[in-house]
């Protein structure tokens, strides 16, 4: 009797939780559509207000960041537009619309900085890492792991030599692919968590030689420029430009991707 009561309570709780999650998803979808409607009517500030409500709920997606980038671009806020396009690209690196709009926005940047040349293998490796997000590489790694385990099990329980030979060969290949993808996943995750990039949000930013308002000026950058964040000290970020220049700037003037 007690067991039946517990089961019924669990079913009721599962139903309530499922209903709440469904209602929450429905509300977020309505908010997104409302923002899109504002955007279509040229009310870009109102659209951003609706999109921000979704972010404040702890939800993010490539589509949401892409829409926010479009709204900021329409408002002429190039730095914010590039920031949100970059955030969208981080979640969907192969999306053609995001890549195209980011390219258009980057063409309007004042700073045209040439990157330090990299050797072919480094370029190839970075391109490989960028093919998928961390979640994407995790899925592929898990898939190869499951397939390799299945073939190992087939090898152990096979009744014929031909089946054992087939499962051994392809199981070995899949196991090797699993190990390779696990390595790529580790590198990708490590890079995502340790390496940060940011975008300049103000029209003109004077970068200092040290983290102090009274420090000597190092160089000047402009809205929309993307750079690497090397370190943080209080309210200051140590940054590195694509051409290798290093300096410090106030964190209020940039947005982390």
The DSSP letter of residue 216 is P
- Please choose, from the candidates 125, 141, 126, 135, the residue with its C-alpha nearest in 3D space to the C-alpha of residue 61: 135
Mean pLDDT of 100-104: 96
Segment (H or E) for 42: none
C-alpha 202: how far from chain center: 23
Please give the residue range of the domain that contains residue 178: 120-194
pLDDT tens, residue by residue, 196-242: 999 999 999 999 999 999 999 999 999 999 999 999 999 999 999 98
Q: State the Cα–Cα distance between residues 165 and 155, nearest whole angstrom.
A: 8
Whole-number pLDDT of residue 53: 92
Task: Indicate if 180 and 210 belong to the same structural domain.
Answer: no
Which pLDDT does position 25 carry in this prediction? 62
Q: How far apart are CA 94 and CA 72, in angstroms?
A: 22
Q: What is the pLDDT of residue 226?
A: 95
Helix (H) or strand (E) holding 202: none
So what's the pLDDT on residue 123? 73
User: What are the pLDDT digits (tens) for 108-124?
Assistant: 999 888 766 667 787 78
- Among all chains, which residue has been given the structure tokens 């300096």? 247
Q: What is the pLDDT of residue 130?
A: 75
Mean pLDDT, range 74-88, rounded to an integer: 96
Domain boundary (173, 194, 215) is at: 194
Residue length of the chain: 257
Domain assignment present for residue 86? The answer is: yes
Identify the pLDDT of residue 22.
Answer: 57
Q: Which tokens belong to 59?
A: 């939800």
| Residues 211 and 190 grouped into a single domain | no
Residue pair 19/29 in contact by the 8 Å Cβ criterion? no
Quickly state the pLDDT bin for 127 (edges 50, 70, 90). confident
Using DSSP, state whether 38 is helix, strand or coil. helix
Q: In angstroms, rounded to a whole number, what is the distance separating the alpha carbons of residues 138 and 93?
A: 15
72 touches 84 (CB < 8 A): yes
Q: What is the pLDDT of residues 21-73, one digit of tens each?
A: 454 566 888 899 999 999 999 999 999 999 999 988 888 889 999 999 999 99
Residues 241 and 178 in one domain: no
Which residues fall within 8 angstroms of residue 229, CB to CB, at 6 or more apart?
Answer: 196, 197, 198, 237, 238, 239, 256
Is position 111 within any domain?
A: no
| Cα–Cα distance, 232 to 51 (Å, whole number) | 29
CA atoms within 13 A on the CB side of 152: 11
Whose structure tokens read 């950058």? 221
The residue from 179, 194, 209 where one domain ends is: 194
Count of structural domains within the chain: 3
Q: How far apart are CA 205 and CA 245, in angstroms?
A: 14
Residue 114 belongs to a domain: no
Q: pLDDT tens across 158-187, in order?
A: 888 888 888 889 889 999 999 999 999 999
Residue 9: per-residue pLDDT: 43
CATH of the domain at 250: 2.30.30.40
Q: H or E element: which one contains 180?
A: helix 161-194
């Amino acid at each position: 009797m007690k067991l039946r009561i517990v089961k019924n309570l669990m079913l009721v709780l599962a139903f309530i939780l499922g209903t709440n999650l469904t209602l929450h998803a429905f509300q977020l979808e309505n908010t997104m559509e409302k923002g899109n409607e504002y955007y279509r009517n040229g009310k870009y500030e109102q659209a951003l207000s609706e999109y921000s409500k979704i972010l404040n709920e702890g939800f993010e997606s490539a589509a949401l960041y892409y829409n926010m980038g479009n709204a900021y671009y329409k408002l002429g806020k190039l730095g914010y537009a590039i920031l949100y396009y970059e955030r969208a690209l981080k979640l969907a690196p192969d999306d053609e619309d995001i890549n195209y709009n980011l390219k258009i926005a980057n063409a309007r940047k004042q700073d045209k900085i040439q990157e330090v040349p990299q050797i072919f293998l480094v370029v190839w490796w970075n391109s490989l890492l960028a093919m998928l997000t961390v979640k994407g590489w995790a899925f592929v790694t898990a898939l190869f792991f499951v397939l390799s385990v299945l073939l190992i099990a087939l090898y152990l329980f096979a009744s014929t030599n031909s089946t054992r030979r087939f499962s051994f060969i392809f199981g070995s290949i899949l196991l090797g692919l699993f190990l390779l993808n696990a390595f790529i996943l580790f590198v990708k995750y490590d890079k995502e968590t340790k390496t940060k990039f940011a975008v300049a949000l103000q029209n003109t930013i004077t970068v200092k030689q040290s983290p102090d308002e009274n420090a000597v000026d190092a160089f000047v950058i402009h809205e929309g420029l993307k750079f690497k964040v090397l370190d943080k000290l209080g309210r200051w970020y140590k940054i590195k430009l694509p051409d290798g220049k290093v300096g410090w700037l106030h964190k209020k003037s940039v947005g982390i991707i």
